[in-house]
Each structure stands twice: as structure tokens, then as C-alpha cells.
Structure 1
Amino acid sequence: MKKIFYLISKRQRILYEVIPFIALIILSKYFVHRFSLEFISLNSIFSGIIGANVFLMGFLLNGVLSDYKESEKLPGELSAMIATMSDEMEIMCRSKKSQIPLEAMKHLLLLSLSIRDWFFKREETDSVLRRITSLNGYFLSFEPLTQANFIARLKQEQNSLRKLIIRIHTIRETSFISSGYFIASTTTILLVLGLIFSKIEPFYESYFFVSVVSYLLIYLIFLIKDLDNPFGYSEDISSEDVSLKPLDDVINDIGARISDISAIINHSNSAEVKAQTSAKKTIRPVKARQK
């Protein structure tokens, strides 16, 4: 239940941020009217400026939405790469009953947890890239256990994973609409000030028009800014972030695989020890009779 309320409040966070601005604008409009400070008359030019600003923000919103929809695919692609590497390691574990692929899977699990912390900015990008590079030592140990084409496939997934991490880092740290966002923000501020000092009769209608137009413009500004970073998990003010559920599912899946394979390898090792012990017991009497 708490999670549902948290998701609702997270989705409505922009609304909660906009409401104080609207209240301040309405209060300012009241005092401006009370002291007869309204000196701007509404005309077609003013309406045209509002329409041009809405068009500009619609253009910016369309751009960030396309980038946002593209970014939605990245956690799923990243999770698929990790899962593919885990599949190859699991095959080696089950076929060779070796501890080396199992240790590699444990490292892959730590890497997945590290990537999740990295999304929340609890870990540096360089640290994640070093963990990806450290897979090379395990790949070198795989040479006696499998064919070269399997290792080449793991290397390919490793390379794709590294590229994806760098790509997400670039999207997260770079604002692609800084100039357009600045123009839209300054124009919105000027238009809101113009609405506050504009003369609209009757006066009670001015409350409606000023509040609705201001709400539309300010909400679009906050929405564009929020969508510009689809990976803002570490920011309390961010509400529109892409889902990390595919990564969480892969982490749980790898953990379950490690438990199953560990049990299989331990059972296999214990069976081999028993077989060796029984073989020694049968060999000793034969040696005694030979003496």
C-alpha cells in the first residue's frame, strides 16, 4: 500500500511543484489589481506570443519524448546482455562442473548490483567500467573449458555492455536542450509577468485566464526539464524515470542460478570424494595380499 501511495505521489510531483507558483501568481494578480497597477492591454500580439511559446515548448517536448522513448529500451538491453553472459557461464558450470564459471557468475552478480547502484549515483562510472574490464581474467580461465567462439561471444557482450554504460552516462550527464529550454523559460516568465499586469475585464475572469495559462506554461517547463534526464533516480525532484525492473529481474535470476549451480557442483564434488575414498579402500587389501 505504501508503495502505491509512493508511486502516486511520485507521478504527481510536478503538480505539487507547480501549485505554489500558481498560488503566488494569483496572489500577485490580486495585489496588482487592488493597487491599480495593471497597465498592459490584451491584444492579438500578446495572444500570438503565448501561442508561439506553446509551440516552442511543444517542439522541445517532442524532442525530449523521442529521446525518452529511446532511453526506455536501454535498461532492457543492458539486462539482456548480462543475462546472455550468465547463460554462457551456466552452460560451462553444468557441463564441466567447474568452480571457475561459478566464480565468474558471482562476479557478474556483483557487477549487476554495482550497475544498479550506479543508476542511483551511489557508484562512479569508472568503478563500473573497471568491473566490466575485470571479466577478462575469467574469460582467460575459460580457455581450457570451452571453445574459442563461446569466449568470443562473451567478449562481444562485454564490449556491448561497456558501450551501453558509456551511452547512458552521456545521456544522464548531458542536457541536449539547454538553449531552447532557456528561451522557453525566459519567455514564460515574461508572459506570466505580462498576465499579472494585464487588464482583463471583468476582474474575476482574469483569475481564471491567468491561472490556467500560467499553469500550462509552467507545467510544460517542469515536464520538459524532467524528461530531459530519464535516469534521474538520485534526484528527489525527478518523477518521470525509466523503469529498472528488467535489471532487478536479472539480478534475482542470477542469484537463483548461482544457488542452484552451487548445489549441483557441491553434490558432484562430494560424489567424487566418496568414489575416490571407496576406491582407496578396495585398493589397499589388494596391495596387502600382494605382499
Structure 2
Amino acid sequence: MKFITNRTIIIKSLIAALFILIIKNFVFKHLNLYGQDFHDLIELSDITIIFTGAFFVFGLLLAATMSDFKESERIPGEVASNLEAIKDWIYLAIRAPRTGTSDLCKEELDKAHLRNELLAITDGIIDWIYSKEKDSNVIFPLIRKSNEIAYYFAERGLDKEAIKGIQENTNAMRKQLTRAYSISRNNFIKPAYILLKSILFIVMALLLITKFKTNPADYLVTSAVTFLFCYLYLLIRGLDDPFDISNDEIDVDLKPIDRFKHRLQNDFLN
């Protein structure tokens, strides 16, 4: 099953190529217009310029989506680094001398509470990234929970540098997740997808009525061009939302956050 889910684009493109071949050889070769067979209405040399222009347009749109994807690849690692830094600041706050004379400053820190809060923040971020909706009403209140840790320390007179560090890393993490939210929610402009679909339809239609010198050339060129254009289209659609985890083949790698969670469960304030 994993082999199939990790190769969905290739499989879908191959199915499209096979479908076009079947339509051309079992349907169009039996149709004609005023005595002219449908499958050889035009010569291949007449439409090569169209294929060239189509590849150029697909290349431009692919480059545009790749830039967002490259930026998205950095976000999980940066979020994990900020969570790791917050964990280190918590360790510093616990071990550094305390100031203040209020009753809260004298009470013992609830380490179980701190551990559960950071685990809850990490779990919430992972669940949000894996979610389909990417609801802003979920992620931003969750990020504020790390500031609650800073407030907890401030009320008890803990190290000010640690408190400042937690807030700075929280703000950096908020920017990163806001960018992830923006990339996930703001898909490529709709007219661009209409253009891609139009080009794809035109290419398929032209292949169905194009005449080739030999049958092997017909099979090879028709299937190859169909496969390439379908693959490019599906690739652009996948790259447009790299945080769509339902698409296992084209998504950002969440291992940095998953591995941080594993370390957190094993060694944080046990």
C-alpha cells in the first residue's frame, strides 16, 4: 500500500497515457469525417510548436510553485528548533536562582504541569499540520500557550533571560506557522489552473487526431507526451499545497517535529 501511495502521480499519469492510447486506437481509428480518418487529421510537424509552448508554460508555473515548496521545507525544522529552544529555556529557568519575595516565588515549580504544557503544544502543532482544514482558530491560541509558560515563570520570579527567551522563540514560531498557514490556505491563482487544464485538454485532443508515420511512433509519442503533461499537472497541484499531508508523495517532511516530540517524551522533566 505504501508503494502505491508514494507513487500516485506516476500511476495516475500512466493510467492517463493508457486511456488516451485506448481511445485513439479503439475509438478514433473507427471514426471519419468526409472520408478522412479522425486519428490522422493533422501531421505531427504542424503542432510541435504547440507542445513547445505548452511545456514552457508548465515550466513557468512549476518554478513558481517550487519556490513556495522550498520555503515550506524549512518550516518544520525551524519550528522544531524553536520548541527545542523553549525546552532549554525551561531547564534554565528551573535551575537558575529565583528572585522576588511573594508567596508564588516560594512555592515549588510544578514540573509535571510544564512537561504536559510543552507536550500539549507539540502535539497540537503536529495535529494542526496533519489536519486538512488548517484552522487559524486552533493554531494561534495553541501558540499562545507557550507564552503561558513564560507568564508562569514571571509570576514566580524566575530568571528573566529565560522568560525573554521563551517569548522570543514563541514569536519566531508564530511567524513560521503563520507562513505555513498562508501557503496552505492561499492556493495558486485560479486562472492559472484553468490555463493548465486548458493546455492539458488541447494537448490530449491534438494527440488523438495527430497522424504518425508508424504505429510504434504513434504509441510511443502519444503515451510519452500524455504521461509528461499529466505528471507535470499533478506535480504542480501537489506542490501548491505542501502541507496537504493526505498527499503522501508531495508534502513537507515532518520528521524534525516528530523526532523532537520523541525526545520530549523520553527525557523532558521525567
Seq. identity, %: 23
TM-score normalised by the chain length of structure 1: 0.79
| One-letter code aligned to 1:24 | F
- Larger helix percent: 1
Q: Does residue 1:23 correspond to 2:18, yes or no?
A: yes
Structure 2: 5+ residue runs without aligned partners? 32-36, 98-106
User: Match of 1:203?
Assistant: 215
Matches within 5 A, 1:275-286: none
TM-score normalised by the chain length of structure 2: 0.85
Rounded to whole Å, the distance in 2 between the matches of 1:175 and 1:34 is: 42
The answer on whether the counterparts of 1:101 and 1:138 sit within 8 Å (CA) in structure 2 is: no
User: Match of 2:139?
Assistant: 128
User: Match of 1:160?
Assistant: 172
SS in 2 for 1:232: coil
User: Match of 1:59?
Assistant: 60
| One-letter code aligned to 2:137 | D
Displacement, 1:170? 1.0
Rounded to whole Å, the distance in 2 between the matches of 1:202 and 1:252 is: 59
SS in 2 for 1:99: coil
- How many residue pairs match? The answer is 253
Displacement, 1:217? 0.9
Rounded to whole Å, the distance in 2 between the matches of 1:225 and 1:161 is: 27
Displacement, 1:204? 3.8
| One-letter code aligned to 1:202 | T
Displacement, 1:102? 4.7
Rounded to whole Å, the distance in 2 between the matches of 1:207 and 1:45 is: 18
The answer on whether the counterparts of 1:100 and 1:141 sit within 8 Å (CA) in structure 2 is: no
Matches within 5 A, 1:150-189: 150-189=162-201
Q: CA RMSD in A?
A: 2.2
The answer on whether the counterparts of 1:92 and 1:101 sit within 8 Å (CA) in structure 2 is: no
The answer on whether the counterparts of 2:204 and 2:226 sit within 8 Å (CA) in structure 1 is: yes
SS in 2 for 1:72: helix
Structure 1: 5+ residue runs without aligned partners? 263-291
The answer on whether the counterparts of 1:40 and 1:198 sit within 8 Å (CA) in structure 2 is: yes
Displacement, 1:21? 1.4
SS in 2 for 1:176: coil
Rounded to whole Å, the distance in 1 between the matches of 2:151 and 2:160 is: 10
| One-letter code aligned to 2:146 | L
User: Match of 2:47?
Assistant: 46
Rounded to whole Å, the distance in 1 between the matches of 2:95 and 2:264 is: 15
